[in-house]
């Protein structure tokens, strides 16, 4: 089996496993919380995204990756870093709810753009075929990225659900 095939299997199973874990343990827990507390838990997970800067550390990934890997690594590293900083700011602003919620939206938007951009650049650069050269960063797209994407989707769902709940609870306008 090729490294590319193994990588794609790992990536798919990373999503399957996280979705199973999320459905059994995390989603029931988040649903039982008040909306802002659930967003705080999600922000805590994303506050560790500063770790993406590892793509800029020489020698962490393989030496034989294509020259255009630097476009991927720079985009990924700085996108993760920005997302992590916004998540940390959200955590610091938790007591100022309007600011907290604005930062929750910001880190989720930046984070989703980062992950979608990472997938796009990785595909365009045919990085799955070179998965054996990722070095210690191999675990990031397999274990960490699926969790990040799932929590972004859940964060947006919780934001939209709470907006819908507020609209449903508001009295209908009278004419």
What pLDDT score was predicted for residue 105? 98
What pLDDT score was predicted for residue 133? 84
What pLDDT score was predicted for residue 20? 98
Q: Residue 74's closest CA among 90, 52, 107?
A: 52
Query: Considering the chain, what percentage of its residues have pLDDT values greater than 70?
Result: 91
Look up the pTM and report it: 0.88
Higher pLDDT, 148 or 132: 148
**Mean pLDDT for all residues in the chain:** 90
Mean pLDDT, residues 102-124 taken together? 95
The DSSP-derived string for 96-127 is SHHHHHHHHHHHHHHHHHHHHHHHHHHHHTTG
């Amino acid at each position: 089996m090729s490294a590319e095939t193994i990588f794609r299997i790992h990536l798919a199973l990373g999503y399957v496993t996280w979705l199973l874990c999320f459905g059994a343990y995390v989603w029931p827990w988040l649903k039982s919380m008040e909306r802002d507390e659930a967003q705080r838990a999600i922000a805590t997970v994303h506050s560790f995204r500063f770790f993406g800067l590892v793509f800029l550390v020489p020698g962490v990934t393989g030496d034989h990756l294509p020259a255009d890997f630097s476009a991927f690594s720079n985009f990924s590293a700085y996108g993760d870093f920005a997302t992590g900083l916004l998540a940390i700011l959200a955590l610091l602003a938790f007591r100022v709810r309007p600011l907290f919620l604005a930062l929750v939206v910001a880190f989720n938007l930046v984070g989703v753009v980062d992950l979608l951009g990472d997938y796009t650049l990785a595909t365009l650069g045919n990085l799955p075929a070179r998965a054996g050269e990722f070095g210690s960063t191999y675990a990031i797209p397999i274990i960490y990225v699926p969790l990040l994407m799932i929590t972004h989707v859940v964060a947006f769902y919780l934001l939209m659900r709470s907006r819908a709940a507020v609209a449903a609870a508001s009295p209908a306008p009278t004419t």
